[in-house]
Structure 1
Amino acid sequence: MANGKKSKKKYYIFGGIGLMILAVILLVVFGGNKEQIITVQTEKVQKRTITQIVSATGKINPVYQVMISAEATGEIVYLPIKEGDVVQKGQLLVRIKPYIYEAQRNNAAARLEQAKATLRSTEAQLNKVQSDYKRIQGLYDKKLASDSELETAKANYLQTLGSYESQKSLVVQSEAALKEATENLNKTYVYAPMDGTISKLNVELAQRVLGSNFSPGTEILTVADLRKMEARVDVDENDVVLVSVGDEAIVKVDAFGDKEFKGKVTQIGNSAVSKGLGTQDEVVNFEVRILIEDPDKQLRPGMSCDADIKTETKPNVIAVPIQSVTARVDKQKTVENKSEEESQVEKPKNGKSNKPKEVVFLAQDGKAKMVEVKTGISDDSYIEIINGLKGGEDVISGPYKAISKELEDGVKISLQSKRKGEKENK
């Protein structure tokens, strides 16, 4: 009896295991054959006007500004201005203590007068010696003067002539010294080089400043013409080739909220400005200057700004949403030999690896159709299609995950309307 019970128990155990294996096999066979259906959103392909935008950040600066540094060393004894004052060209802005420079100028003037007096005396002596030399030469021609008398007269003349020429050189040197001393004295006066506003004042009355004889002098102030302002922005090296002088731009200044200023590109830098050189965060930019057409009186140098430069506009071009365009690589065909272990992957005839191609997916008869396209310019939302579409097709516009990874040619899809204001999950 015991053996009979054990046999029945084994029968139930093995029977249960068999049923479980059968159930797993049925699930794999029938469940694996179930075709996946991807829910997507579509949009009609149509013609649009696309404006390509290059965005950049930077600072507001005056078009014309002059930084004035001290050229004379000394104490500031006159400072009639303050930051924000409007000044006129030629107006006296700063006076540096002039006493030392006045003394140097007076000393140079005295030396010049002394040199000129000595020159006049030497010139008179030269005239006398020259006259004596000519007289003795005449007597010598008549055999009335000896050779020694002629040689002595000639030597005196040449010696005096040399002194005269030397004294002329001293006069020239003294004139140059006086000119230099006068110029140094004039440097103690600082005048406005242009009409404008004192945008920066770095010194105070009685402060001592250093001149620029041997090193950069003390920066005294900056005069700027605030009637003409520009945005100086840094454009990425990949985008700067799209920008041209004359391109229109919209400038937003952080301090003015959503207010927009119109402008035009006036200058594109030729030298790169690198940040984070030698690191993984290295960035190469080029400075682009944008003249603001109607600047606000409250614009100040140094304010942060953002600029959108309109580099190109194309009207009535076929366009699709930017997210509709993705990249796909052609699947490589497998070449099977007699041995499965020696299966090889077919390579392109040119020996190069397959490059990704730009594609979009169209919704046709409940399936996704992959179409290769050639793209052009783009704005924030749409991208131009140069080849591949004619217009009027239903292009799949979302979700992003389906377009970028899941969709393939011929995959079944179901359409879902995009609700107004609904954000796409990427």
Structure 2
Amino acid sequence: MKRNLWLLVILPVCIAVIAATSGFWKWGKKNPLETVPTAHVQKGNFEIPVRELGKLKAEKSVTISARIPGKIIRLCKEGAEVKPGDFLIQIDTSDMVRTLQERELDHQNALNEVLKTKGELDSLRLENELKIKQTRAELDHNKGLLQETEETKARYERLLKDRLVTQAQCDEIRLKVEEKKLSVRKSELSLSVEKRKALSSEKNKSGQIENLNIRSRIQKVRLDEVRTQIREATIKAPAAGIVIFKEIWKGGEQGKITEGDQIFPQFALIEIPDLTKMNVAVKVDEMSIHLVKAGQPARIKLDADPTRLLLGKVTEIATLASEGRFWERTAPGKKYVEVVIGLEKSDPKLLKPGMSANVDIITRTIPDVLSIPLEAVITEGKQAFVYLRTSSGFEKRAVALGDKNDNFVVVKKGISKGDSVALKDPTRKTAETPSPTPLPEGPQKK
């Protein structure tokens, strides 16, 4: 009797425990289909972008280079905002100052030589003028004596007719006339010689002055050259913008300019971009460049602030391709064409030259079409399928595909807007790793 009573008590309890345990296990175990990720079929405009990396650059910029060689002894801060006339670079002028002092002395000596020689020319002219006056006075005196002697000769010849003088006296007077004529000719010759000597000496002295003037002008040019070099040793900003140091060759390697660097003329040292109008330089793969056209819209996101969306348009497309370089975040060996995107708005506080950006150039927009993620497509041969979510699980559905971009593909038929499709094959076990299958050939973007 007692045994039956215990059975009546224990049996219901055991049944209840078993039922509870069974229910808990059944409740805690999830349906495997519920863990399959899905996505809704979207309908709207479908964009086909060319997605590349780019760098910000100013639409306009000024490149600063030195006009003289020398060593940088003082330098402004990189990144500083400058306005026209602000200090940028100071080149060492110690050797130039010494050269300036030497050339100032040379120029002054040349000027002194000119002044000295001009004084000598003035003295020479006075001396020559005095000699010419003396010679002319002697000539005038001899002419006067000649005239007196000729008058005496004429008187003696009249007296000879009257036999008041002898023939010998007349002959003597004639000889004196010839002597006076000879003295006059000598004086005329002396005057001519003195004039030629004066002209020659003054011409020589004037030539010396001209040579000294040329030397003085040369010294002045050399002096002005040093003064110009000293002025050019201080480089100032020609325009407003932000200071960006350029890289120069430093004995075996490239590096940004620093104090102590030896620089040479025409070296690009600093770039001052105008931050009020910025562009994005994009290296587009040569296989995709045929899709890019001027005027196409573009969306830009900065690496420094991915939450901010910038808008722009294609403004320039280079005519030649160039090989990629690793420091440009491109694949070495591949060919790229540079495309310039003009930004609609520029914020100098946010946008700085050299910033990296992700750029989507919208090459084509297909209006009002259905699209799904690429992960939802499964291909078998040339046929594409999706797994459509239904009330009882997933249904394998054949679909016709259209164009695609990096993440989505257009679906022409087979599904409807709002449908849910699996993002992985729900028939595979979780532990299985499906091998990727390419989409069937068709109008997809290559």
TM-score by length of 2: 0.51
Contact 2:245 2:257 in 1 (8 A): no
CA distance in 1: counterparts of 2:244 and 2:233, whole angstroms: 22
CA distance in 1: counterparts of 2:107 and 2:78, whole angstroms: 43
| Secondary structure in structure 2 of the residue aligned to 1:89 | coil
Larger Rg: 2
In structure 1, what is the equivalent of residue 345 of structure 2? 294
In structure 1, what is the equivalent of residue 232 of structure 2? 187
In structure 1, what is the equivalent of residue 217 of structure 2? 172
Query: Which of 104, 110, 113 does residue 105 from structure 2 map onto?
Result: 110
CA distance in 2: counterparts of 1:151 and 1:88, whole angstroms: 68
1:303 matched to 2:303:
no
Query: Which of 32, 56, 62 does residue 58 from structure 2 map onto?
Result: 62
Contact 2:48 2:362 in 1 (8 A): yes
In structure 1, what is the equivalent of residue 80 of structure 2? 85
1:233 matched to 2:256:
no
CA distance in 2: counterparts of 1:416 and 1:50, whole angstroms: 16
Cα 1:148–1:52 change in 2 (3 A) is farther
| Secondary structure in structure 1 of the residue aligned to 2:420 | coil
In structure 1, what is the equivalent of residue 251 of structure 2? none
Deviation at 1:251, TM superposition (A): 1.4
Deviations 1:89-137 (A, max 9, x none): 2122443443332222233233222222322333444566678889969
Instruction: Please give the residue correspondences for 1:9-28 in structure 2 after superposition, counting only pairs within 5 Å.
Output: none
CA distance in 1: counterparts of 2:338 and 2:319, whole angstroms: 8
1:73 matched to 2:70:
yes
Contact 1:72 1:187 in 2 (8 A): no
Deviation at 1:290, TM superposition (A): 1.6
CA distance in 2: counterparts of 1:155 and 1:242, whole angstroms: 86
CA distance in 1: counterparts of 2:226 and 2:215, whole angstroms: 16
Contact 2:128 2:194 in 1 (8 A): no
In structure 1, what is the equivalent of residue 95 of structure 2? 100
In structure 1, what is the equivalent of residue 317 of structure 2? 268
Deviation at 1:270, TM superposition (A): 3.5
Cα 1:303–1:151 change in 2 (3 A) is same
| Secondary structure in structure 1 of the residue aligned to 2:235 | strand
Deviation at 1:194, TM superposition (A): 2.2
Deviation at 1:157, TM superposition (A): 3.4
Q: Percent identity?
A: 24
- One-letter identity of the residue aligned with 1:232: A
When you count helix as a share of all residues, which structure comes out higher?
2
CA distance in 2: counterparts of 1:266 and 1:88, whole angstroms: 28
CA distance in 1: counterparts of 2:112 and 2:296, whole angstroms: 68
When you count strand as a share of all residues, which structure comes out higher?
1
In structure 2, what is the equivalent of residue 39 of structure 1? none
- One-letter identity of the residue aligned with 2:361: I
- One-letter identity of the residue aligned with 1:163: Q
Instruction: Please give the residue correspondences for 1:97-246 in structure 2 after superposition, counting only pairs within 5 Å.
Output: 97-126=92-121, 143-145=188-190, 148-200=193-245, 202=256, 207-213=259-265, 216=267, 219=269, 221-237=270-286, 239-240=288-289, 243-246=292-295
Deviation at 1:210, TM superposition (A): 1.6
Deviations 1:59-93 (A, max 9, x none): 222334445455452462x55x5344332221224
| Secondary structure in structure 1 of the residue aligned to 2:351 | coil
Cα 1:122–1:379 change in 2 (3 A) is farther
CA distance in 2: counterparts of 1:184 and 1:272, whole angstroms: 41
| Secondary structure in structure 1 of the residue aligned to 2:239 | coil
Cα 1:125–1:249 change in 2 (3 A) is farther
CA distance in 2: counterparts of 1:129 and 1:303, whole angstroms: 78
Cα 1:159–1:198 change in 2 (3 A) is same
Deviation at 1:311, TM superposition (A): 4.8
CA distance in 1: counterparts of 2:289 and 2:188, whole angstroms: 93
Contact 2:72 2:262 in 1 (8 A): no
In structure 2, what is the equivalent of residue 14 of structure 1? none
Deviations 1:25-58 (A, max 9, x none): xxxxxxxxxxxxxxxxxxxxx9x97766444322
- One-letter identity of the residue aligned with 1:298: L
1:420 matched to 2:420:
yes
Deviation at 1:263, TM superposition (A): 1.4
Structure 2 stretches of 5 or more lacking a match? Answer: 1-42, 140-184, 247-255, 326-330, 375-382, 385-401, 425-436, 440-446
Deviation at 1:191, TM superposition (A): 1.8
Structure 1 stretches of 5 or more lacking a match? Answer: 1-45, 324-359, 362-374, 384-394, 398-414
CA distance in 1: counterparts of 2:127 and 2:291, whole angstroms: 86
CA distance in 2: counterparts of 1:263 and 1:144, whole angstroms: 97
Deviation at 1:223, TM superposition (A): 3.8
Cα 1:281–1:108 change in 2 (3 A) is closer
